[in-house]
Chain A
Amino acid sequence: MAAMTTGAKARWTLLDIIVVIYALVPVLWIVSLSFKTPATLTDGNFIPREWTLQNYADIFSTTTFLRALGNSIGIALISTLIAVVLGTMAAYAIARLEFPGKRALVGVSLLIAMFPQVSLVSPLFEMERSLGLFDTWPGLILPYITFALPLAIYTLSAFFREIPWELEKAAKMDGATPAQAFRRVIAPLAAPGVFTTAILVFIFCWNDFLFAISLTSTEASRTVPAALSFFTGSSQFEDPTGTISAAAVVITIPIIVFVLFFQRRIVAGLTSGAVKG
């Protein structure tokens, strides 16, 4: 690396900048829109000529957005927690145990992940209606877990396979019960995998629009992505773009916090030094 020439360095820097700009321009555009007044909304300037916080004031002045934010946070956190706990146990069993039907289990769970969700929306709608789950938190949490689990199992079992089995045997020899071996040796080592999975699952639940729009009807369980689509301006003739942008900026914040919080725990190469070679 030290041998990299100035020319190569410059080329890499340029490339990095291009990629970052490509990725960030839409985000920055939304941020810019959220600070514009309705009059200047469509002027096409990247930097607003008239700054305003009115859009933010608007979304927080009604309960619609706040309720949706609360629903989003609650539903995403609960779904993530359950999916990760179940996924951890399932992945551990898949990585460590030989049991009949193991391949079938992994295959079916992958199949669920591949299933087009849109084709399930109508049957789910009917089922939830008759079960009384429609427009409730569990009504969203359940399908989220279903679709997040295969993802969780798949990523986690890859992590578990990385952990040398001998560590578990060593723990047993040192006097640990299977539960103790899991809690004190395997779980700490699998932590990076668990956190990675938690981030992925959380993002999946947080961003879902399809189930959120089809399985809810009121503020009782409508999450932010769905609620956004119901935004209107203060009058029928006013463009809600400004408020939608402000809401979009706000809902990005929890995800950034969530990722930053867990990212610090993902220490790469934690298992190095366990076994030689």
Chain B
Amino acid sequence: MAEIVLDKVSKQYPDGALAVSDVDLTIADGEFIILVGPSGCGKSTTLNMIAGLEDITSGELRIDGERVNERAPKDRDIAMVFQSYALYPHMTVRENMAFPLRLAKVDDKTVRAKVDEAARILDLTQHLDRRPSNLSGGQRQRVAMGRAIVRDPKAFLMDEPLSNLDAKLRVQMRTSVAKIQKKLGTTTVYVTHDQTEAMTLGDRVVVMRGGLVQQIGSPQFLYEQPVNLFVAGFIGSPSMNFVPARLENSSVSSPLGNFPLTDRIRTLLEDADAPREVIMGLRPEHFEDATLLDDTAMSGGATFESTVDVLESMGSDKFAYFTLEGEMATSAELEELAADAGASDLSADGTQIITRLSASSQAKEGHPARIWFDTDKIHLFDPHNGRNFTYAD
């Protein structure tokens, strides 16, 4: 167990690519920290630098207060779980898990005891004498975990450990990863692409983009107070809706209609010295079917009317999709997010809006619906640098 400190850590690859720049991060002892970001943003590079598999170009990495930049991976006492599991195919499950202990010259009896213990935790006992090639994906994943936990390292590093599993298994393994980490209390750095993993697993989440840290905080805080457009769009699934908006005195005009700013937001905007053209963001759950609300509930927001494109009933609630007339919100961040999501939102004739309505909503596909939204929950962003004017920490 250990505290890991990244102090202005940067990585430049020999070909000149700056993969990670000036990352400052203090990971507390026993903390579970998540690195997220779009493909190529430097998550694996950061992890590999902590592991010692990549050299650190500049900055300092400290484990328990000691500089470890120059130490080989084996001298850092850190275990890693790879996306591909990287199990040794010529060894049985038992030998795979025992490998780190054997290298550490632990005596046979202890090795046996530790491997058996790890196998019990991971439910692998009956597979100990099989080879990785005969195991299912989930079992292989657990062997990889087992190899990491047997030797009680100072920290676990995991690079998208669940991304090769099918959806159901991923949910199962996600819970076991969380449980095991809680039980062992080992400092863990976990790289993921998956929204749910990012939101549910970690104590804190680090959002990265193009090698730069965008924001660090608890999942809930990032969700409610994204520091910029990128974080706002990246965290949350389905993601935040973005529309172009215009600020006029103390009201907003947008494809969702014109409405007055709430006092809270007006104060924040005055402090931030916002321009007139902004991007407005609003999460799907801050919409509701207006017919379900009484007047007092409606008073805290505004309404708009549009035709439901698609309606997806999830049982617990309904997702209604709308296309709003007018221009789409554009910015570099939004383009990058769309590219990462693989979404070719080329329905160019307007802005797509996703709303989450109560299950009791009577909205129907192809029919107009009147939708209310909470005007105090809007975020307003600078279209040029993505800054969130409504951010208050």
Which A residues lie at the B interface, using CB under 8 A?
164, 166-167, 169-177, 180, 184-185, 188-189, 269-277
In the complex, identify which listed stretch (B78-86, B275-283, B344-352) lies at the interface while the others stay far away: B78-86
Flag whether B383 is at the interface (Cβ < 8 A): no
Chain A residues with Cβ under 8 A from B89's Cβ?
Answer: 189, 270-274
A167 contacts B135, CB within 8 Å? no
CA distance A269 to B104 in the complex (A): 30
With A180-B103, A273-B131 already in contact, 6 other A-B pairs whose C-beta atoms are closer than 8 Å: A166-B84, A175-B104, A184-B99, A273-B134, A274-B85, A277-B84
A173 contacts B135, CB within 8 Å? no
B132 contacts A273, CB within 8 Å? yes
Given contacts A172-B73, A174-B147, A175-B100, contact A273 B84 (CB under 8 A): no
Nearest-neighbour CB distance to chain B for A124, whole angstroms, equals: 42
Chain A residues with Cβ under 8 A from B367's Cβ?
Answer: none
CA distance A171 to B104 in the complex (A): 12
Total A-B contacts with CB atoms under 8 angstroms apart = 85
Chain A residues with Cβ under 8 A from B52's Cβ?
Answer: 172
Chain B residues with Cβ under 8 A from A273's Cβ?
Answer: 87, 89, 131-135, 140
Chain A residues with Cβ under 8 A from B135's Cβ?
Answer: 273
Residue in chain A with minimal CB distance to B132: A273
A272 contacts B85, CB within 8 Å? no
CA distance A188 to B88 in the complex (A): 10
Q: Mark B71-112, 1 if CB is under 8 A from A, else 0.
A: 011100011101011111110000000011001100000000
B100 contacts A174, CB within 8 Å? yes
Flag whether B53 is at the interface (Cβ < 8 A): yes
Nearest-neighbour CB distance to chain A for B283, whole angstroms, equals: 34
Flag whether B255 is at the interface (Cβ < 8 A): no
Flag whether B51 is at the interface (Cβ < 8 A): yes
- By size class, the interface of chain B is 20 to 34
Which residues, 185 to 222 on B, are CB-close (under 8 Å) to A?
A: none
Residue in chain B with minimal CB distance to A165: B86
Chain A residues with Cβ under 8 A from B58's Cβ?
Answer: none
Chain A residues with Cβ under 8 A from B59's Cβ?
Answer: none
Chain B residues with Cβ under 8 A from A176's Cβ?
Answer: 74, 103
B51 contacts A275, CB within 8 Å? no
Flag whether B260 is at the interface (Cβ < 8 A): no
Flag whether B38 is at the interface (Cβ < 8 A): no
Residue in chain A with minimal CB distance to B74: A175
CA distance A177 to B73 in the complex (A): 9
Given contacts A166-B86, A276-B85, contact A173 B79 (CB under 8 A): yes
Given contacts A273-B132, A273-B140, A276-B137, contact A167 B86 (CB under 8 A): yes
Residue in chain A with minimal CB distance to B52: A172
Top 4 nearest A-B pairs (CB, nearest first) are A273-B133, A275-B84, A170-B86, A273-B132
Chain A residues with Cβ under 8 A from B147's Cβ?
Answer: 170, 174
Chain B residues with Cβ under 8 A from A174's Cβ?
Answer: 74, 79, 99-100, 103, 147
Q: Which of B78, B79, B133 contacts A272 (CB 8 A)?
A: B133
Flag whether B164 is at the interface (Cβ < 8 A): yes
Chain B residues with Cβ under 8 A from A171's Cβ?
Answer: 88, 99
Chain B residues with Cβ under 8 A from A166's Cβ?
Answer: 82, 84, 86
CA distance A274 to B137 in the complex (A): 11
Nearest-neighbour CB distance to chain A for B279, whole angstroms, equals: 38
CA distance A276 to B132 in the complex (A): 10
Please indicate which of the listed interface residues B89, B104, B147 has the most CB atoms of chain A within 10 Å of its own CB: B89
Chain B residues with Cβ under 8 A from A175's Cβ?
Answer: 74, 100, 103-104, 151
A276 contacts B104, CB within 8 Å? no
Nearest-neighbour CB distance to chain A for B298, whole angstroms, equals: 52
A169 contacts B131, CB within 8 Å? no
Nearest-neighbour CB distance to chain A for B127, whole angstroms, equals: 12
Q: Which of B78, B84, B99, B100 contacts A276 (CB 8 A)?
A: B84
B132 contacts A274, CB within 8 Å? yes
